Structure 1
Amino acid sequence: MGGWNVSDIPDQTGRTAIVTGATSGLGAATARALAEAGARVIIAVRNQVKAQGVANSIAGEVQVRSLDLADLGSVRAFAESVDRADILINNAGVMAVPKSTTADGFEMQIGTNFLGHFALTGLLLDRITDRVVNVSSITHYIGRIDLDDLNWEHRAYSRFGAYAQSKLALLLFTNELQRRLRLADSPKLALAAHPGYAATEISSKTQNFLEQLVGLGNRLVAQSADMGALPTVYAATAEVEPGGYYGPEWFDWRGFPKRVGESAAARDEKTARQLWELAEQLTGVNFPL
């Protein structure tokens, strides 16, 4: 027996979804599933030429707009272009890149994966009618939030440590956002999802021998991007629990989507509040909550 699949997506006609980073892999698969279910999809990306090729391959209404999550100026400009949307899917990300910084001086992975999406969500929240979905990772289990050195300025840089920190930050953000929405008596939902082990291009920027190892794993073990996108699409469209985290059914690696667990660190309410306050200071974005 199969599980929840794209054929189970409720009719999305009349709804608008924003998907960040949809030039390939999970983002493209997510955009395709939503558009083919009737949604108007806005692909928010750095590479508009590549994204237009994706848009042209999708049967449905898809728009391409410029968004560089590593530049808060670009985040603000994109947010100003949005009148309303039902769903915001914070999918874009970089993984295990060499140490570098964003346009605003943040470590690239925390800046792109978390702070850029934090700012985007805050700027758009009053125009999002239904839900926000943050795409995390099973690597959040090895993540550690260093509130005193979020940008790796005073400790030895670890590519995968920085990636894991950014994905843990997204789960803490999801949980704190849902808590604040609940306190505000808002019907909006904050959710998270992860793809398990899916074959995508995210590892192509690691710039070391691990690319070859990951490539071998992609061929032998990983599920397709279409399958990896299912937890995100489920979180974006199905009847879900507020603050829920969704991933593949088989040991978080493969299979159809279901509610999955998260680390104790991801449920730490004190750290979530402190991270939220720090993110507001760093980005200059205050949420309307």
Structure 2
Amino acid sequence: MTKWTAQDIVDQQGRTFVVTGANSGLGAVTARALAGAGADVVLACRDVAKGEEVARPLGSRARVRKLDLADLDSVREFAAGIDSVDVLVNNAGVMAVPNRRTADGFEMQFGTNHLGHFALTGLLLDRITDRVVTMSSLMHRLGTIDLADPNYEHRSYRRWPAYGQSKLANLLFAYELDRRLAAAGSAVKSLAAHPGYASTGLQGHTDSVWDRVMGIGNLMAQSAEMGALPELYAATAADAVGGTFIGPDGPFEQRGYPKVVASNAKSRDRAVAAALWGESETLTGVTYEFES
């Protein structure tokens, strides 16, 4: 693909998108771009007030719904209020936070970034008509899926490996979902994307010295508008292929325009993906039902 930008988004009138974490950063940029292309956008936000600030200038095309991915009751309540959706963008996330637990007792990063989106996607799947886009990260390369202790109940917590595990889980999920959809003969597809190194609010919520370090690093980062391009391409481009990973085309995938990129061997391990899927269904209580 050649230098695809938000101006290349085709007319999205008549289509509905759900974007998680749309109250700030990449999610807010994505919601604005989709509404600007004519789409109806549901901003799925933990912070509803901030979501309303984003939605207000977008007019009737945007509406805000409460969604806390760190609380499965909230996920179920949100999903129950969605009638139909063409595209689900699993964008929200937390990064390198201290050792905390979700409302259901999961490690916060694995529980929010992976399990919350796994449950949300499964609960909405019978109403999704086109595709699911799940945001991962270059940091998936730091991750290893510990199926014996994914929630750090028995091992020492380390924030960056935990983040890497959650982002690797996002990729394993996106690829496995696409395989299962294809096997069921479904027309729905699943893709993954990553923003490179983009300046967003995500880097400022680690509650550690890393906030200051990454604040300095943000001076060299690309804008959130550029960082959102891979997920926008994955969510809207007619020629986007299921089971692919979209990221920036620049050096080391740090910045640039969308293209299909590679992910590491761990993310392509089908045995681990299947085992993670089973464990995710057990932990969330959400069992997927596939229809063609």
TM-score, structure 1 as length reference: 0.98
Runs of 4+ in 1 over 4 A off after TM superposition: none
Q: Give the aligned partner of residue 201 of structure 1.
A: 201
The answer as to whether partners of 1:36 and 1:59 remain within 8 angstroms in 2 is: no
**Residue identity in the other structure for 1:23:** N
Q: Give the aligned partner of residue 159 of structure 1.
A: 159
Residue 26 (structure 2) pairs with residue 20 (structure 1):
no
The answer as to whether partners of 2:42 and 2:63 remain within 8 angstroms in 1 is: yes
Compute the displacement of 1:58 (Å).
3.0
- Separation of aligned partners in 2, 1:193 and 1:259: 9
Q: Give the aligned partner of residue 228 of structure 1.
A: 227
Residue 112 (structure 2) pairs with residue 124 (structure 1):
no
Compute the displacement of 1:146 (Å).
0.1
**Residue identity in the other structure for 1:61:** R
Compute the displacement of 1:57 (Å).
3.0
Compute the displacement of 1:198 (Å).
0.2
Q: Over aligned residues, Cα RMSD in angstroms?
A: 0.9
Compute the displacement of 1:10 (Å).
1.1
- Separation of aligned partners in 2, 1:43 and 1:59: 13
- Separation of aligned partners in 2, 1:240 and 1:254: 20
Instruction: Tell me the SS of whatever aligns to 1:18.
Output: strand
Q: Give the aligned partner of residue 76 of structure 2.
A: 76
Q: Give the aligned partner of residue 47 of structure 2.
A: 47
Residue 264 (structure 2) pairs with residue 263 (structure 1):
yes
- Separation of aligned partners in 2, 1:227 and 1:71: 31
Q: Give the aligned partner of residue 7 of structure 1.
A: 7
Compute the displacement of 1:60 (Å).
6.0
Q: Deviations over 1:86-130 (max 9, x none)?
A: 000000000000001000000000000000000000000010000
- Separation of aligned partners in 2, 1:160 and 1:240: 31
Instruction: Tell me the SS of whatever aligns to 1:168.
Output: helix
Matches within 5 A, 1:178-257: 178-219=178-219, 221-238=220-237, 239-250=239-250, 251-257=252-258
**Residue identity in the other structure for 1:257:** P
**Residue identity in the other structure for 1:277:** G
The answer as to whether partners of 2:138 and 2:196 remain within 8 angstroms in 1 is: yes
Q: Give the aligned partner of residue 275 of structure 1.
A: 276
Compute the displacement of 1:56 (Å).
1.4
Instruction: Tell me the SS of whatever aligns to 2:100.
Output: coil
- Separation of aligned partners in 2, 1:242 and 1:139: 22
The answer as to whether partners of 1:35 and 1:60 remain within 8 angstroms in 2 is: no
Aligned length in residues: 287
**Residue identity in the other structure for 1:196:** G
The answer as to whether partners of 2:204 and 2:214 remain within 8 angstroms in 1 is: no
Instruction: Tell me the SS of whatever aligns to 2:249.
Output: strand
Instruction: Tell me the SS of whatever aligns to 1:42.
Output: strand
Matches within 5 A, 1:97-116: 97-116=97-116
- Separation of aligned partners in 1, 2:71 and 2:15: 28
The answer as to whether partners of 1:246 and 1:258 remain within 8 angstroms in 2 is: yes
- Where structure 1 has 5 or more consecutive residues not aligned to the other structure, the ranges are none
- Separation of aligned partners in 2, 1:192 and 1:8: 19
**Residue identity in the other structure for 1:54:** V
Compute the displacement of 1:252 (Å).
1.0
Q: Give the aligned partner of residue 56 of structure 1.
A: 56
- Separation of aligned partners in 2, 1:89 and 1:241: 15
- Separation of aligned partners in 1, 2:260 and 2:56: 33
| Paired-residue identity, % | 57
Q: Give the aligned partner of residue 146 of structure 1.
A: 146
**Residue identity in the other structure for 1:253:** Q
Compute the displacement of 1:9 (Å).
0.4
- Separation of aligned partners in 2, 1:193 and 1:97: 22
**Residue identity in the other structure for 1:288:** E
**Residue identity in the other structure for 2:44:** A
Residue 288 (structure 2) pairs with residue 287 (structure 1):
yes
